[in-house]
Structure 1
Amino acid sequence: MRISQLEGRRVALWGWGREGKAAWRAVRSRLPTLPLTLFCTSDEVAAARGCGDILLNLEVDASADRLAAFDVVIKSPGISPYGAEAAAAAARGTRFIGGTGLWFAEQGDAAGMARNTVCITGTKGKSTTTALLAHLLRAAGRRTALAGNIGLPLLELLDVAPAEAPKSWVIELSSYQTGDVAASGVRPDIGVVLNVFPEHLDWHGSEARYVADKLQLVTAARPRVAVLNAADPRLVALDLPDSEIRWFGDESGWHLRGDILFDRDTRVMDTSSLPLPGRHNRGNLCAALTVLDAMGLDAAALAARAKDFIPLPHRLQTIGTRDGLTWVNDSISTTPYASLAALGCFAERPVAILLGGHDRGVDWSEFAKAITDHAPRVVVTMGANGPRIHALLSPLTADGEFVLLQAEGLADAVGKARAALDGDGVLLLSPGAPSFGPYRDYVARGRHFAELGGFDPDAISAIPGLGIA
Structure 2
Amino acid sequence: MRIAELVGRRVAIWGFGREGRAAIHAVRQRCPDQRFTLFCAAAEVDAARAFDPALEVVAGEPDAATLSRFDVVVKSPGISAYKPALLAALAQGTQFTSGTALWFGENPDAHVIAVTGTKGKSTTSALIAHLTRALGVRTALAGNIGLPLLELPDRQAVSQPAELWVIELSSFQTGEAGPLELGVITSLYEEHLDWHGSRERYVVDKLRLADVSRQLLVNGLQPALLERTQKHPHRLLFGQPAGWHVADGFIRRGTQEVFPVEQLAAPGLHNALNACAALAALAAVGMDAMAAAPALAHFRPLPHRLQPLGERDGWHWVNDSISTTPLATLAALESLHGHAVTVLVGGHDRGLDWTPFVEAMRSSPAHAIVCMGSNGGRIETALRAAGVACPIMHVADLAGAVAEAKVCTPDGGVILLSPGAPSFDQFKDYAERGRRFAALAGFDSASITGIEGLGIDGDVGKT
Same fold (TM > 0.5): yes
Q: For residue 54 of structure 2, what is the aligned residue in structure 1?
A: 54
Match of 1:154 among 132, 149, 172: 149
Give 3-state SS (helix, strand or coil) of 2:347's partner: coil
State TM-score, norm by structure 1.
0.94
Q: For residue 291 of structure 1, what is the aligned residue in structure 2?
A: 281
Hey, what's the Cα distance between the residues in 2 that align with 1:434 and 1:88? 29
The number of aligned residues is: 456
Q: For residue 247 of structure 2, what is the aligned residue in structure 1?
A: 257
Residue 136 in structure 1 maps to residue 131 in structure 2: yes
- 1:343-380 deviation line (CA, Å, top 9, x unaligned): 11112111110111111111111111112454211101
Q: For residue 70 of structure 1, what is the aligned residue in structure 2?
A: 70
Large movers: runs of 4+ above 4 Å: 239-243
Residue 281 in structure 1 maps to residue 271 in structure 2: yes
RMSD: 1.5
Pairwise CA distance, 1:241: 5.7
Letter of the aligned partner of 2:352 in structure 1?
Answer: V
Residue 40 in structure 1 maps to residue 40 in structure 2: yes
Letter of the aligned partner of 1:216 in structure 2?
Answer: R
Hey, what's the Cα distance between the residues in 2 that align with 1:107 and 1:225? 19
Q: For residue 111 of structure 1, what is the aligned residue in structure 2?
A: none
User: Are residues 379 and 30 of structure 1, via their aligned partners in 2, closer, same or farther at CA, if it must alter by over 3 Å?
Assistant: same
Pairwise CA distance, 1:84: 2.3
Give 3-state SS (helix, strand or coil) of 1:118's partner: strand
Residue 166 in structure 1 maps to residue 158 in structure 2: no
Q: Is the 8 A contact 2:49 2:55 kept in 1?
A: no
Q: Is the 8 A contact 2:40 2:57 kept in 1?
A: no
Match of 1:406 among 394, 399, 408: 394
User: Are residues 269 and 59 of structure 1, via their aligned partners in 2, closer, same or farther at CA, if it must alter by over 3 Å?
Assistant: closer
Letter of the aligned partner of 1:383 in structure 2?
Answer: G
Q: Is the 8 A contact 1:314 1:461 kept in 2?
A: no
Residue 457 in structure 1 maps to residue 445 in structure 2: yes
Match of 1:434 among 408, 418, 422: 422
Hey, what's the Cα distance between the residues in 1 that align with 2:232 and 2:219? 18
Pairwise CA distance, 1:9: 1.4
Q: For residue 460 of structure 2, what is the aligned residue in structure 1?
A: none
Q: For residue 362 of structure 1, what is the aligned residue in structure 2?
A: 352
Give 3-state SS (helix, strand or coil) of 2:159's partner: helix
Hey, what's the Cα distance between the residues in 2 that align with 1:43 and 1:315? 31
Give 3-state SS (helix, strand or coil) of 1:224's partner: strand
Q: For residue 375 of structure 1, what is the aligned residue in structure 2?
A: 365
Q: For residue 318 of structure 1, what is the aligned residue in structure 2?
A: 308
Hey, what's the Cα distance between the residues in 2 that align with 1:246 and 1:239? 10
Q: For residue 17 of structure 2, what is the aligned residue in structure 1?
A: 17
Hey, what's the Cα distance between the residues in 2 that align with 1:406 and 1:67? 44
Pairwise CA distance, 1:260: 1.5
Pairwise CA distance, 1:252: 2.4
Q: For residue 121 of structure 2, what is the aligned residue in structure 1?
A: 126
Q: For residue 179 of structure 1, what is the aligned residue in structure 2?
A: 175
Residue 394 in structure 1 maps to residue 390 in structure 2: no
Give 3-state SS (helix, strand or coil) of 1:164's partner: coil
- 1:38-82 deviation line (CA, Å, top 9, x unaligned): 000011001001124324443434122211211111111111011
Q: For residue 206 of structure 1, what is the aligned residue in structure 2?
A: 198
Give 3-state SS (helix, strand or coil) of 2:263's partner: coil
User: Are residues 367 and 151 of structure 1, via their aligned partners in 2, closer, same or farther at CA, if it must alter by over 3 Å?
Assistant: same
Give 3-state SS (helix, strand or coil) of 1:370's partner: helix
Q: For residue 331 of structure 1, what is the aligned residue in structure 2?
A: 321
Pairwise CA distance, 1:462: 2.3
Q: For residue 185 of structure 2, what is the aligned residue in structure 1?
A: 193
Pairwise CA distance, 1:176: 0.8
Residue 99 in structure 1 maps to residue 99 in structure 2: yes
Q: Is the 8 A contact 1:82 1:204 kept in 2?
A: yes
Letter of the aligned partner of 1:334 in structure 2?
Answer: T
- 1:423-442 deviation line (CA, Å, top 9, x unaligned): 44111000001111311110
Bigger CA drift: 455-464 or 385-394?
Answer: 455-464
User: Are residues 52 and 24 of structure 1, via their aligned partners in 2, closer, same or farther at CA, if it must alter by over 3 Å?
Assistant: closer
Hey, what's the Cα distance between the residues in 2 that align with 1:240 and 1:366? 26
Q: Is the 8 A contact 1:447 1:457 kept in 2?
A: yes
- 1:217-263 deviation line (CA, Å, top 9, x unaligned): 01x22x11111111112221135666421111102210111321211
Letter of the aligned partner of 1:267 in structure 2?
Answer: E
Pairwise CA distance, 1:422: 4.6
Residue 309 in structure 1 maps to residue 305 in structure 2: no
Letter of the aligned partner of 2:146 in structure 1?
Answer: G
Bigger CA drift: 371-380 or 288-297?
Answer: 371-380
Hey, what's the Cα distance between the residues in 1 that align with 2:47 and 2:4? 27
Q: Is the 8 A contact 1:198 1:362 kept in 2?
A: yes
Hey, what's the Cα distance between the residues in 2 that align with 1:241 and 1:344? 33
Q: Identity over the aligned pairs, expressed in percent?
A: 49
Q: Is the 8 A contact 1:255 1:283 kept in 2?
A: yes
Hey, what's the Cα distance between the residues in 2 that align with 1:297 and 1:139? 11
Hey, what's the Cα distance between the residues in 1 that align with 2:180 and 2:61? 36
Hey, what's the Cα distance between the residues in 2 that align with 1:440 and 1:464? 21
Q: Is the 8 A contact 1:358 1:435 kept in 2?
A: yes
- 1:361-403 deviation line (CA, Å, top 9, x unaligned): 11111111112454211101111111111111113446xx210
Residue 419 in structure 1 maps to residue 407 in structure 2: yes
Give 3-state SS (helix, strand or coil) of 1:285's partner: helix
Hey, what's the Cα distance between the residues in 2 that align with 1:117 and 1:413? 42
Q: For residue 4 of structure 1, what is the aligned residue in structure 2?
A: 4
Q: Is the 8 A contact 1:332 1:430 kept in 2?
A: yes
